[in-house]
Copies of this chain bind each other. A is one copy, B any other.
Amino acid sequence: MYFVSGYRGNNALSLLGNQGEYVVDSQPTIYDVAQRAGVSIATVSRALNSLSSVRPATRDKVLVAMRELKFVPNSVARGLSSGKHWILGLVFMQTAVDNNVLAVEEASLLYTDIVIRGAEARAAAHGYSLLLCGAGENHPAGMTPLMNLTGTVDGLIMLDRVLVEDEVADLSRRIPVVLLAGRGDSSAAITVRVDNEQAMRSLAQHFIDVHHVKRVGFVSGHEGSPDSVAREASFRSAIEEGGVTLADVDILKSDWTSAGGEGAMRRRLTLDAPLPEVFACANDQTAVGVIYALHAAGLRVPEDVLVSGFDDITLTRYFKPPLTTIRQSGSLLGEVAVDALVATLDNSELAVRTIVLPTELVVRESCGCAAASESPAEIFKMTATPTMVVN
């Protein structure tokens, strides 16, 4: 190793110099840059962050030195020093079951991924990175990573209630937390969710007003999921207001997956009770499985049974029959969550505690309506704008 006397930095310099054939064994630091540029480390730091006054000539010297050394600031040291990490954590429910590959692959088609993408894009736009953290009983590392997160990220976005209220409150005492798809009643954190009530109401009305149904069914998502619970409750109340029947036997338990929907419908078909005229499903994947099971039993959709989904994922537009569904923008959900979190980080105060995003009924053929004339690729604009609710 080669050291300039009184020189604290590493030997990265030797790469450029001709004093020996030493190999770089670590990244250059601001000490290296400072030495090469002939200034102090404070000046290097200032040039780097362009906060305070650095004379243009000096700045250039520093920037040249940085480029020559291929200097990249160590963001960890930065974080330690400034307390700011420029990292946002995204916690989601890991549904993988042991060695069951399917669970991961199916789950990956869930809305979660779209949310993650939206969040990542928005985070990047704000200058943040996104740290992913799967959690849940089935997750290999359990809850541990979550706790350590508080020292790594500036804020946390939690999908689909990974924690109970108490834990969230605990967490949000340490760092800002945004809850996604929660029930929206948490006092501890900001909540972002879609308008399940409005969605299921418009769906119920459509079934009643347009298709004059008298008896309906519902296929749920994963047990205990706030979105699934909200969708079922909203659907039921809207349906019952309309004087239509939602019998217990027609409430099927699924788990957000196609396989779950298929299984639930197969089991329902073994029962003696006559089928309702329509099954509203908690998401699109479930609807796909439900339709498959109905077809397998020789029933036609929509001639014999009507089916609807929720989410409007791209692929189901190409299905036969094209799926009637509720459109929500998953990426918007992620984006808004990040925006809210960043706003909290900046102001440390946000006027709004709950943000409710709009949904939109998309009528296609699976509910018995006429085929649309456009190509599936044409139809993708959300027409409604976000609603804000303060509480």
User: Which A residues have a C-beta under 8 Å from some C-beta of B?
Assistant: 24, 27, 70, 72-80, 85, 87, 90, 94, 96, 101-102, 104-109, 113-114, 116-118, 120-122, 124-125, 127, 129-134, 139-141, 145, 147-152, 170, 173-174, 257-259, 262-263, 266, 285, 288-289, 291-292, 295-296, 313-320, 329-332, 375-377, 380-382
Contact = CB atoms under 8 A, between A and B. Distances in A.
29 contacts: A27-B174, A76-B152, A78-B151, A80-B80, A94-B121, A96-B121, A101-B329, A101-B380, A101-B382, A102-B377, A104-B118, A104-B331, A105-B114, A108-B114, A108-B116, A109-B109, A109-B313, A121-B139, A129-B132, A129-B145, A129-B152, A130-B131, A131-B132, A258-B315, A262-B318, A285-B315, A288-B315, A295-B320, A315-B316
A314 B105 contact: yes
A33 to B, nearest CB: 14
How many copies the complex holds: the figure is 2
Label chain A's interface by main secondary structure: helix
A72 B131 contact: no
Contacts of A317: 258
Contact of A150 (B72, B113, B320): B72
Given A129-B145, A285-B315, A319-B319, 12 more contacts: A70-B170, A72-B147, A75-B152, A101-B332, A102-B380, A104-B331, A108-B117, A113-B116, A129-B132, A129-B149, A258-B315, A259-B314
Contacts of A257: 314
A301 B391 CA distance: 54
A283 to B, nearest CB: 12
Contacts of A74: 80, 151
A74 B83 CA distance: 11
A356 to B, nearest CB: 18
A332 B100 CA distance: 11
A337 B104 CA distance: 16
